Structure 1
């Protein structure tokens, strides 16, 4: 089941169900795209119709953040839990290890994805990993694509930032069985950026912790009240398709 949030249809899957869906796609070798949709991306799609079409055409669209979970509840089709990019990636590692999957990490500053691969491989030695940074230009891109195709990943993790990563994945289909836009997850995996303590994550105010650590992000956070207003407008004044 999906819930329509400002024109974006978000899956109501739990984390475990999302992992199972991805596992089935890899087992069947049917390429799919996974979009982790946060309030900022959903709000941006109101004016960016191409982005809206791109998100809605993905096989899996997860609720990335408590703001999306809140919106789904207000629209009377609750999702079970938030499924953020970093949490989904970490939930996939044990399954990847058991299945000896091949994972390609694409994105981040030079050295970050490589450090993420090093840490993941140390904990999950059965995963076959390869990395490439996200600072490649149009002339270098054919070489990057050839590296991915040669590696033949089961799972392609693209951390180019939203919505660039979503456009990039859509423009380069069939590079892997499953392709996921994961934002800044490589920084967290490499521990170049420290996530909020678990108790803060459980309180669903990780965004506030990150704003405290990175105050220059305040302009991005101004989307949240506008997102809330739009959701309430949809709830009370619009008929959801």
Structure 2
């Protein structure tokens, strides 16, 4: 497995996609950068990243036969892999916030951005961007952000965590080939706010309360709303309010 190390770049995802346009890459090629000036999150959000303190990581994954209907499994594989990487660092109450944020004690410690190359009804390859807050000591104007250092008081090697994450991602992609049901089961067991009364906002700006029951392989979340009715939503329809 190849790791490309950079001092600074606008976005590791963008760099990896540009590289793919120029040359053929080995499966599971990784790009890491000490500084990312225009890190991107889901829904156009910007990821705050101070130089050399956090992990800016993107991995290329090639597929031979990946049905687009199962694309949410990329969120499952990626978020479980980050969870498994972080759990050895003594973080309290580590969970996965649907669809793919990693939380510790109600604060976000990692986010994931997945960009797919689609042909017909198949995903040909994916570029998976992962940001993990490691040694940053403060996040101005981001009250819901945290890092390993803030939570534990210990500094850690960004490079070691990158290598650990790459190996765990490979393991879970191999597991996906033989037992995708185990992965979605594990994902559901780690869900943030599962079976707790939580607040949600909908596209029409309305707000409601409900209990998260589970997430399906299609990525839709099942919520028991106040009238005890079960409703399913896609990530484009609602947002969990922290």
Higher relative contact order (CA 8 A, sep 6+): 1
Q: Please report the TM-score for the alignment, with normalisation by the length of structure 2.
A: 0.26
Q: Give 1 or 2: higher strand fraction.
A: 2
TM-score if structure 1 supplies the norm length?
0.26
**Structure with the higher helix share, 1 or 2:** 1
